[in-house]
Structure 1
Amino acid sequence: MIKSLNKSGNNMDKKPSKFKKIIISILIIVLVVALISFFGLRSYYNSQMAPMAVENIKDITVEIPQGSSTVRIASILKDRGLIRNELFFRYTAKTLGLDGSLKAGKYVLNNGMTPEEILESLQTGGILKETVSFTIPEGFELHEIISRLSDMGLIDKVRFEELVSNPKSFEEKYPILKDIPEGLNLEGYLYPDTYEIFVDAKEEDIIEKMLSRFTQVYSDEIANKANDLNMTLNEVISLASIIEREGKLDEERPMISAVFHNRLSINQPLESCATIQFALGERKQVLSYKDLEIESDYNTYRNSGLPPGPIASPGKKSIEAAVNPADVPYKYFVSNEDGTGSHTFSITYQDHLNAIDRIRNK
């Protein structure tokens, strides 16, 4: 009887101990889940409150109508691509004590602003600066870009020339420029396009806007293609600029690229008239034999390989063609001189001479 009671008593002592362990385990699990949820929510909140962009920042004009609630303002900003999460924006406005104090008007914001920065701007009242637009055609040389902007009264010519002569001053914001060889300027890297700028924009603002567009066009796909071809950024843009100046029709650009790639593969001079014109500093309609003898690193009649740098600002089609040459054996081409901008392509030099005779004897 005594032994039986002792045994029963031992079991009673073990049960509470086991129960405590279960309770502690449950509490630990709940605590872990709570911590994971907290940090997960915090991480999600931070991601939703981050700027929409950290590169290629764009100005965005927004109009906030009179009488707009914070809910309505959040919806407008979300539609314009300025915030990620309407609910979190409204929550932040409330926690900062700004709910109901945001002002109507026209604003120039940008997609690199945080929601807090946007809220700060929306307290001041709308201010819309006057803007002006300019267009840089594909194939423009740097001096032509400078002349156009100077003639429009948008830049101080000397200041602009000084800035574009030093790519390193823009490397921190645009790391891709680190691939530009020492001694070269931004020839070829100010992307040809139509731009809208504030009338009081500085020279740096204009250059950065054009560089930002260039980095958008020079996509990862193009960069990967360049790596596959063992081409540097400078080589791609140099070749693209020649293609831009030599080609008129988009469908011919890959074939023109192929001609130059085929020549480069056998160390045959590119013999591009466009590089001679760049070396001469003028675009002569007809080049003389004397012109072809000009002493210049950009003379691709006398020097093999690509020139030291770009000779103009290439457009997207030419940049893509530079890393996507057509699969053709051509090594020569000549303009058909029929007003269409088309060319006749040839494999051998004799075929090329025959093509020239046919075109000139039409």
Structure 2
Amino acid sequence: MTDLFEAEVTTTTSLDLRRLQRQQRRANRRKWLLVFVSVGLVLVAIAGSIAKNYWDTTFVSNTTVAQDYTTAGQGTVQVIINPGDTGAMIATTLYNQGVTASREAFLEAAAKNPDSAGIKPGYYLLQREMKADYALAALLDPTNKELRTITIPEGHTVDYYYQKIVDVTGKDLATVKAAAKDTAALGLPPEANGNLEGWLFPSTYEFNPGVTPAQALSTMIAETIKQLDAQHVAAADREKILTVASLVEREAKLPVDRPLIAGVIYNRLAKNMKLELDSTVKFVAPSPGPFTTNADRATDSPYNTYMYTGLPPGPIAGPGAASIAAAVTPAQNDYLFFVTVNLDTGETAYAATLPEHLKNVQKMNAWIAAQPKATG
């Protein structure tokens, strides 16, 4: 009985062991299957991510990030480029003003064009909804800058300047004159003694819209100082040089005459002779024609160089660069007199003595006598 019982136990245990082994094998297969499936899912996910990134980079980015218009635009808009603006700042300005469809479009256009670094500060007239390339080209074209331009010829007094500033600023004359009174705020040097005459340089000026009278005046004064510095004029000599230069500007008819007339002025000053210049008399007693009358020359004023010896108290007009150069470097000669002997050509004769000068005056009178008489 015992043997049979023991045999039965042994058989049952073997069967259970085999069953357990089969279960373990099936569990191992399921485990590895799960591992393979998981690895596969991971690989699929990675592949999908790579594919998506490729699609976004190749297609989506190129079509949606740099949105751009395709036309030259429409309407007009004022765009202000400030000094120191970076490319990114300009791109933002254009986008905010409705000029470009996106900041990125302008930045891409600028990156492709090496001239983009040459955009100048200022006020520009552009159009809305412009292709970025066109907007960039417009900013690089100086004709698109919105400027207020005035030209002031040499030899004019401050009243002429004031009227030109009225024209460029849109302010009335009283406002311009009020700004001219605050000479310290304008940067007028102390050697000018508060007098703007002669310190407003004659030139062509370009101003941004909204320029004020004070800004215009300050610019002209700064240009005069620049011209004096270019001639190495010391601060203490500026007023004298501008005064002599203004006399030269009003008296000289031809470029060749500027240093010669400056030489005559310095020669007469050295001999303590009165300058006797009609231009200084006309500064205080304006009259028509090129000459002064006895009544004009009787005007009692320190600017009347027929009455008073030495230079007038200050400049009588705005001298240009050539007259300033003549005042700094006059011709070296012994001339004490000059007279224009032909008013049409501007021919001027010079003399070292009074008898020689009187002969030149006779030439002038002969020219005048030969001119057709005006009929009423």
Q: 1:185 aligns with which of 184, 191, 195?
A: 195
- Determine if contact 2:231/2:325 at 8 Å carries over to the other structure: no
Partner in structure 2 of residue 143 of structure 1: 159
1:344–1:73 CA distance, 2 compared to 1 (3 A): farther
Matched AA of 1:320: A
Partner in structure 2 of residue 344 of structure 1: 349
In 2: Cα distance, 1:208 partner to 1:241 partner: 20
Q: 1:134 aligns with which of 129, 132, 150?
A: 150
Max Rg structure: 2
Gaps of 5+ in 2: 1-81, 92-104, 122-134, 368-376
1:116-156 alpha-carbon deviations (Å, 9 max, x no partner):
xxxxxxxxxxxx87322111110011112223333566332
In 2: Cα distance, 1:274 partner to 1:106 partner: 48
In 1: Cα distance, 2:160 partner to 2:331 partner: 31
Bigger relative CO (Cα 8 Å, ≥ 6 apart): 1
Partner in structure 2 of residue 251 of structure 1: 256
- Determine if contact 2:278/2:291 at 8 Å carries over to the other structure: no
Partner in structure 1 of residue 299 of structure 2: 294
- Determine if contact 1:134/1:194 at 8 Å carries over to the other structure: yes
- Determine if contact 2:337/2:351 at 8 Å carries over to the other structure: yes
1:310-356 alpha-carbon deviations (Å, 9 max, x no partner):
11000000001001110111010001224111210010111111111
Partner in structure 2 of residue 200 of structure 1: 210
Larger helix proportion of the pair? 2
1:347–1:149 CA distance, 2 compared to 1 (3 A): same
Partner in structure 1 of residue 359 of structure 2: 354
Partner in structure 1 of residue 227 of structure 2: 217
Give the superposition deviation at 1:358.
Answer: 2.3
In 2: Cα distance, 1:208 partner to 1:306 partner: 26
1:181-206 alpha-carbon deviations (Å, 9 max, x no partner):
2xx42111111111111232111111
Matched AA of 1:67: F
- Determine if contact 2:336/2:352 at 8 Å carries over to the other structure: yes
Identity percentage of aligned residues: 27
Give the superposition deviation at 1:222.
Answer: 3.2
Matched AA of 2:190: K
- Determine if contact 2:244/2:315 at 8 Å carries over to the other structure: yes
1:72–1:308 CA distance, 2 compared to 1 (3 A): farther
In 1: Cα distance, 2:247 partner to 2:112 partner: 49
2:279 aligned with 1:274: yes
Q: 2:172 aligns with which of 152, 156, 159?
A: 156
Q: 1:233 aligns with which of 238, 252, 259?
A: 238
In 1: Cα distance, 2:120 partner to 2:160 partner: 35
- Determine if contact 1:154/1:199 at 8 Å carries over to the other structure: no
Give the superposition deviation at 1:285.
Answer: 3.0
In 2: Cα distance, 1:277 partner to 1:59 partner: 45
- Determine if contact 2:280/2:303 at 8 Å carries over to the other structure: yes
In 2: Cα distance, 1:322 partner to 1:154 partner: 36
Task: Give me the CA root mean square deviation.
Answer: 3.3
TM-score if structure 1 supplies the norm length?
Answer: 0.62
- Determine if contact 1:140/1:313 at 8 Å carries over to the other structure: yes
Give the superposition deviation at 1:296.
Answer: 0.6
Q: 1:263 aligns with which of 250, 268, 277?
A: 268
In 1: Cα distance, 2:288 partner to 2:116 partner: 48
Partner in structure 1 of residue 327 of structure 2: 322
- Determine if contact 2:264/2:337 at 8 Å carries over to the other structure: yes
In 2: Cα distance, 1:161 partner to 1:317 partner: 28
In 1: Cα distance, 2:183 partner to 2:287 partner: 24
2:311 aligned with 1:333: no
1:155-195 alpha-carbon deviations (Å, 9 max, x no partner):
32112112223422223xx6xx12112xx421111111111
Equivalent pairs counted in the alignment come to 255
Matched AA of 2:154: E
1:293-312 alpha-carbon deviations (Å, 9 max, x no partner):
10111001111111111110
Matched AA of 2:148: V
1:239–1:72 CA distance, 2 compared to 1 (3 A): farther
Counting only pairs closer than 5 Å after superposition, residues 60-139 of structure 1 correspond to structure 2 as 66-69=105-108, 72=111, 76=115, 79=118, 130-139=146-155
